[in-house]
Structure 1
């Protein structure tokens, strides 16, 4: 067995690992411990169809499962295309090896820029972990190339003795999504909330996180009726509401039930994750002007990933950079073949951005398709984001469906994931230095991606502290320590992200007008949260007036978090 962890003590139940699973470092929380009655069993994994895994055969191949069994359990044909609004139940063989349960599959790398973190949390939706993949495979996590075959351990478990006695036949591994709560999952799978809590070592007041897993104890094979993804509104308690002391429901810590408490708790959680300091010294990035010929030589090694466009191709795609194709500033909408693209005209030196964007890959970072150099200008070609910037979206006429708190929390989570990857899962790490609502773009599904890496700096060996003589950024989003002394750390991005989240909650811009004067939104909200009439004043500047009644009450409980 490849895991070199210490032998765990036998416990009466599995323990929920929370956000420890996001770590790529060794931990005994990667897999469930072998404390069941059996050393091997059939168990179920729950998976949400997503391209290119939208058919029975594709999902079965991904999970090394039997397509006939998969089709039968989900009540579909073996040739069926599965809709994204339904989960898929996958039966796997779960066995104990060296004190840990796991199912096994393999995965062939098809995109050179992928990392263990992306594969575990993107492709396998948290059913595996970055740390598991690092321990299971000999390949360097930053040098995964086309054709590499990876071993993928999957998180599963067998029922314990007391579960078997109570009638439990299977444990299903469920990857938590936005808006999930234990009560809702128990209702969906026709089990008690108490049985789910006990199976995962949770209490009624515990917090759960997306991209982590819960074990669902089942008395029979799951039915096709349970594949429908449902989102419920929160109730006031997990158990009966008798008595005066009601308990809050166990919910996803960042989006469940779309309450403001959860939203603020998410802010604290993400700040803690992304705020981690690194060790070592920052790499020094000296500004350097180079010719187009030098640029082509420097980026030649990236031609397999990044396309070198001709200027004529870009002229044709953007109708000669005509006014009808102009999106904003120096950014143009273009059509290249059957693909819509965004073309950004820039100065001559784009080598650093191209170099950086050629080596990183994450769903929440804007994808670079290619570049072009022509005379005294360079052009970067990006994926096109239908809904424009977050700042533009917040300023549009709102509807409850599109601008509800759930949608805004989803956007915040996307930005947090992008920053976490940028800071902690690239080599070298990067500080964006210009996170703001205009540099966060939204696709047609309102999924957010970070853009504009022109000010980004590398870090060295985890210690990203460095100083700049020239302060560059966007007013209202720059951290005080950066404005004061030019100090650049990942905390610069964290501060900016906090301001973006305030914009998401309030709908207001980072710089607001009060009494004829301009005031930073962060200062205004911090002042309100410290005041005596915080609830009333907070309602006046947020979009939460029409949200659930409990949202503002919960928000007041977070007043102690002045640092955010």
Structure 2
């Protein structure tokens, strides 16, 4: 036994010496969400200062998302030279949503870690995790923010406070420089990325990329919104950021040795051949030692299986988004006859060439096709997730997609038209312009929304989380029946039970509607929608935007505490939408407020499943209609 242990120790020494020839930094994996961990075994605090130089010029990537879609906004956020960003990105000054932007930075060693510093002003409800994973998309980490000298304790972030943000970057090691590497670009991994596609996009040898991040052909799982170092011989070009086409058929197995950056002299080639032999021999010894170790201690590591991966470490290929193409559109037409592919000329005629008179709001236009009103939404980026879901579902409480169009880099999604617009136009006191929904209409709308969510949670395979339930995403038809809209943030869940969660590194949504477990720890489940629904129901009764309540620094429970405590008359006046002028059943308000209280519990396991909310609201509606008929 002692000889085996000695052999294994020897193997470890050999493997470390061999890997140090190529390895730059350990890949961060999913440790970006473990904000309490202060170790740096996976580079969560930053990349180590082990390069030839303590400072270097390098590149990071960033994906344009509102409000950071202009050259000025991105350069200010990342403290980068706007002229250099423009030059690297085809002289553009604006970028489409999800467009990859190459950003040049100066990377320097601070406290043992490489970083490029920028600053950020704290906003209401910000946490280090939200700043790192939402605003900066993973180009920094919550651990690095907390570890930064001068930054406040993570529990004491104050609005408008200016903090230092260390962006993740690194400089090449000597062995990498010897192989021709001049830059280590910090690349933000996306859902459809894997190591081979990234290597192909930037013209990099895959073996060199893997070893630069201490990954292997077997252990090569990467996760969205983490950084992967890409070794480059020359500055990256904008051509690398073009959306890649659908993958070709797989090539035959390679029989030759992978090519590393070629040398100009035969002596260098001979040196590389010798190096290959040394590494190959070391790898063989390492594999032999590992096999002996596993047999002795019965701890054989199973190869990653998508069915065995925990919910918080879903492999990338499980979450790949289908890249939209004309072929994909044609397949949609074959799958669902209700999805029509429109020409741009048809949509131009429907909207009077997208005139200002046809504009509803934002990038949504009203049009008329074959005598029927339609809502036409102009979009950029990958819309496959929304199309994939909408072409499969059919429910009266979900907005219906009737067609799509693609023209000159823009997508146009054609929806059924909701005559009475967004719910937000009817319930916010400062916006409703005299419009007023009755008590029964509000309960019916709430029931419709809950019913639509129940369909997404329980009757789609897999189940889906909407992730952006709010009043502006609820549309009302001519009969004031609600339809859930805007599915661009929807996410499928592999949870087998109601209380199961998965993790995300990218916090998105609307402040005020975001559940605490999602905002603080990135936990995703159907209970996110239940929490947001509770906030929406609160707004419907109070006639007040939740953002106003946060400006008042009040906990949501304060708004309805009086009602729950049966302080009837005065509490109802303060709580209810004043536009209703007390035309509501006092005995039912407390019942609905209790539903709100259940939905916005801090502990997600205590919140009811949405199907229970549907049952409760059905009772409330029945009683409301009885009350309404009694007062006529």
Normalized against structure 1, the TM-score is what?
A: 0.50
Tell me by how many angstroms 1:226 deviates. Answer: 1.1
Provide structure 2 residue ranges, at least 5 long, that are not aligned to the other structure: 1-16, 258-303, 316-426, 453-464, 478-482, 508-513, 535-594, 614-632
Task: Tell me if 1:329 matches 2:344.
Answer: no
**How many Å apart are 1:23 and its aligned residue?**
1.5
Rounded Cα–Cα distance in structure 2 between residues aligned with 1:175 and 1:139: 27
**1:107 matches 2:117:** no
Contact 2:65–2:98 (8 Å) recurs in 1: no
Answer with 1 or 2: which has the greater Rg.
2
* 2:69 match: 54
Contact kept, 8 Å, 1:56 with 1:81, in 2: the verdict is yes
**C-alpha displacement at 1:43, in angstroms?**
0.8
CA distance 1:187–1:318, shift in 2 (3 Å)? farther
Look up the match of 2:504. Answer: 417
Q: Tell me the secondary structure at the aligned position of residue 18 of structure 1.
A: coil
Give structure 1 stretches of 5+ with no counterpart: 1-8, 244-260, 273-308, 333-341, 343-362, 369-381, 394-401, 442-450, 478-564
What's the C-alpha RMSD, in Å, of the aligned pairs? 5.2
What does the per-residue CA deviation read over 1:211-242, in whole Å, with 9 as the maximum and x for residues that have no partner? 11100011111111112233754976997279
> Whole-Å Cα distance in 2 between the matches of residues 317 and 264 of structure 1?
51
Equivalent positions of 1:476-491 (< 5 A) are: none
Q: How does 1:88-487 map to 2 (within 5 A)?
A: 88-109=101-122, 111-136=123-148, 137-206=150-219, 207-230=221-244, 233=247, 240=254, 264=307, 267-270=310-313, 316-317=434-435, 320=438, 327=445, 329=447, 366=468, 382-384=471-473, 409=492, 416-417=503-504, 434=527, 454-458=598-602, 473=609
Mapped to 1, the partners of 2:33 and 2:238 lie a distance apart of 31
For residue 452 of structure 1, report the CA deviation from its aligned partner: 7.4
Distance of 2:528 and 2:428 partners within structure 1: 31
TM-aligned CA distance change 1:147 to 1:122, over 3 Å: same
- Whether contact under 8 Å (2:530, 2:609) holds in the other structure is no
Cα distance in 1 between the residues matched to 2:476 and 2:32: 32
How far apart are the structure 2 equivalents of 1:436 and 1:149?
32
Quick one: distance in 1 between partners of 2:467 and 2:101? 28
Q: 1:393-439: per-residue Cα shift (whole Å, max 9, x none)?
A: 9xxxxxxxx99xx9865898997439999575768999999578998
| Structure ranking higher in helix proportion | 2
Cα 1:310–1:323 shift into 2, 3 Å? closer
Matching of residue 19 in structure 1 with residue 30 in structure 2: yes
In 2: Cα distance, 1:146 partner to 1:55 partner: 25
* Cα pair distance change 1:191/1:417, threshold 3 Å: closer
| Count, aligned residues | 345
Alpha carbons of structure 1 residues 439 and 113: separation in structure 2 relative to 1, 3 Å: closer
Deviations 1:505-530 (A, max 9, x none): xxxxxxxxxxxxxxxxxxxxxxxxxx
Q: What SS class does the counterpart of residue 53 from structure 2 fall into? A: coil
Q: Is the 8 A contact 2:212 2:230 kept in 1?
A: yes
Relative distance call for 1:142 and 1:327 in structure 2 (3 A) is farther
Task: Rate the CA distance shift 1:454–1:263 in 2: closer, same or farther, 3 A.
Answer: farther
| Matched residue, 1:35 | 50
